[in-house]
Structure 1
């Protein structure tokens, strides 16, 4: 098997899983929060947390590993300007995603507590959701630009 094609396939597959899971879980969380139903929010947040550990985390680890492999196999300079932009944007996305993981866990736990007590979602959950929502936009935009850079590899 051709190492370059293997690396490229793994890189494309993991980017699809990373981006697709992020979009899917974000949509589900927004949709659940719109219902205002504590049971729905708890159920969806629980699934989102699991999806992040099963899909997003491994894909997020594979992305830079397969990227480094591809850079090496293709003979690109590791300090090419478009690659430096990719690195910076990936770090930005990661820096947004990391607190999002903990916010999702907090939302799940707060919804679980409210569900067990038979109360509405507390204000802390709504604050966590607003921060979660705000952090999603720069991560999403960063990954969209990363996709563009990977496809176009512009000469700056």
Structure 2
């Protein structure tokens, strides 16, 4: 398949927007559900969050990586170019945080479902899961912000 540069760049920008927007939306709704301390609210929200990660975040990650590499080829830009290499390192650092976060969201959903079914408060294991979820989210978020900066400023 051949795409012209503007179309490929548009797809790359669109997927980055989807990735950032979905990430922030998921984090917001998951955190608000967590603050409610209501197992039913957490279970329902985490169920939707897990679905959203599968439908939006995961495909955007793939498109982002593929179009980024494709753009470097079209521009004859070596992957060793400082800003490209840095963006790639940050991209993989984000992924290293995001993959456990997906598992943690599934775990939080399951723990909340169990508590809701038993009509009990959220267990201590849930609190540990959400602590990890919270702290893994920050380096991923900061990395994505830094990638956006790299894409715009292209420092040598």
Q: TM-score, normalised by structure 1?
A: 0.97
The equivalent residue for 1:85 is: 86
The equivalent residue for 1:70 is: 71
Question: Map of 1:48-59 to 2, 5 A cutoff?
Answer: 48-59=49-60
The equivalent residue for 1:120 is: 121
Any idea what the Cα deviations from partners look like across 1:57-76, whole Å, max 9, x if unmatched?
00011111000111111221
Residue 43 of structure 1: how far off its partner (Å): 0.7
Any idea what the Cα deviations from partners look like across 1:6-47, whole Å, max 9, x if unmatched?
210110011011111000000001111111111111111111
Structure 1 runs of 4+ with >2 Å offset: none
Residue 150 of structure 1: how far off its partner (Å): 0.4
Q: Which runs of 5+ in 2 are unaligned?
A: none
The equivalent residue for 1:129 is: 130
Rounded Cα–Cα distance in structure 1 between residues aligned with 2:69 and 2:135: 30
Q: TM-score, normalised by structure 2?
A: 0.97
Question: Map of 1:15-54 to 2, 5 A cutoff?
Answer: 15-54=16-55
Rounded Cα–Cα distance in structure 2 between residues aligned with 1:25 and 1:70: 28
Residue 2 of structure 1: how far off its partner (Å): 5.5
Rounded Cα–Cα distance in structure 2 between residues aligned with 1:25 and 1:15: 15
